[in-house]
Amino acid sequence: MIIIDAKNKKHKELNEEIEKYLNNGYKRIKLINVNGQRYIFAGVKGDYYLEIEGVAGDDLGAFMDGPTIVVKGNCQDAAGNTMNYGKIIIHGDARDVIGYAMRGGCIYINGDVGYRVGIHMKEYKEKRPLIIVANTAGDFLGEYMAGGILIVLRLKGNYIGDFIATGIHGGRIYIRGYVDEDKLGYGAKIEEFKDEDVEFLRNKLEEFCKIFGYDLDKILRKDFTKIVPISHRPYGKLYTE
């Protein structure tokens, strides 16, 4: 593994250095002293591993297809933006629009997230993106979702933002614990949580719990609120009679 010190480097300089090592055949890279540099590993395709110590900047792993990124710290906006495949593991908090238009892969966050997480997520055939958040999420969670799975565990704190799943027309959201219907946005509804959902969540949460050291059985002892679309065309009447 090659180690790159990001201290005092602009995002362009850092990303050019990363690209140089990737082009020279390095598969595993570690960045230290990262302090908000943007676009790290954006567009990278292939079986690569990146470890980051510090605070990753906007658009971490945007458009990437295959790599695994582990952040030993926090992350700013839009991690996994339009990600096609791969894995982003964030040991701290992440901010807004995480997983924007995400098309595949998974994002695991062992902390809180901000607004509009999972906005425009989508899925196609076997590609079904997954975002799991350990703690709380802000407003407009899952806005305009067209596919994929969002799971918010609220392990520390019971807060959940307003306007959940506004405009949702595909995919599912699971929030651990009770969620009042007044929290939902237009186009979303609460569906009965069934035994098959427990097994589905067990499958999806197994790796997450193993990475962060959580007791999966303990998490699943509490019921979840399942949120789904009312329709695949929630705004259809605005355009057709």
Q: How confident is the model over 8-34, as pLDDT tens digits?
A: 999 999 999 999 999 999 999 999 999
Domain assignment present for residue 16? The answer is: no
Q: Average of pLDDT values for 127-150?
A: 97
Q: What percent of the chain has pLDDT over 70?
A: 98
Domain assignment present for residue 86? The answer is: no
- What pLDDT band is residue 177 in, cutting at 50, 70 and 90? very high
**pLDDT (0 to 100) of residue 104:** 97
Provide the domain count of the chain: 1
Q: How confident is the model over 215-231, as pLDDT tens digits?
A: 999 999 999 999 999 98
Domain assignment present for residue 179? The answer is: yes
Mean pLDDT for the chain? 96
Range of the domain at 172: 93-238
Say what the pTM is. Answer: 0.96
Q: What is the CATH number of the domain that holds 190?
A: 2.160.20.60
Least confident of 61-65, 120-124, 229-233: 229-233
Tell which wins on pLDDT, 187 or 241. Answer: 187
Q: How far is CA 128 from CA 16, 55, 77, 113, 237, in A?
A: 31, 28, 22, 21, 28
**pLDDT (0 to 100) of residue 34:** 98
- What pLDDT band is residue 44 in, cutting at 50, 70 and 90? very high
Domain assignment present for residue 82? The answer is: no
Residue 136: name the closest of 170, 100, 164 by CA: 164
Say which DSSP state 128 is in.
-
Domain assignment present for residue 178? The answer is: yes
The C-alpha atoms of residue 100 and residue 121 are separated, in whole angstroms, by 6
Q: Average of pLDDT values for 90-109?
A: 98
Domain assignment present for residue 34? The answer is: no
Q: Average of pLDDT values for 199-221?
A: 97
Q: Within 13 A of 105's CA, how many CA atoms are on the CB side? A: 30
Sign of CA dihedral 139, 221, 217, 190: negative
- What pLDDT band is residue 93 in, cutting at 50, 70 and 90? very high
**pLDDT (0 to 100) of residue 217:** 97
- What pLDDT band is residue 50 in, cutting at 50, 70 and 90? very high
At residue 239, does pLDDT exceed 70? Answer: no
Q: Average of pLDDT values for 167-180?
A: 97
For the sheet containing 2-5, what is the strand order? 2-5, 28-35, 49-55, 65-72, 85-90, 106-109, 130-133, 146-152, 170-176, 224-229, 188-191
At residue 89, does pLDDT exceed 80? Answer: yes
Domain assignment present for residue 152? The answer is: yes
| SS3 at position 129 | coil
Domain assignment present for residue 176? The answer is: yes
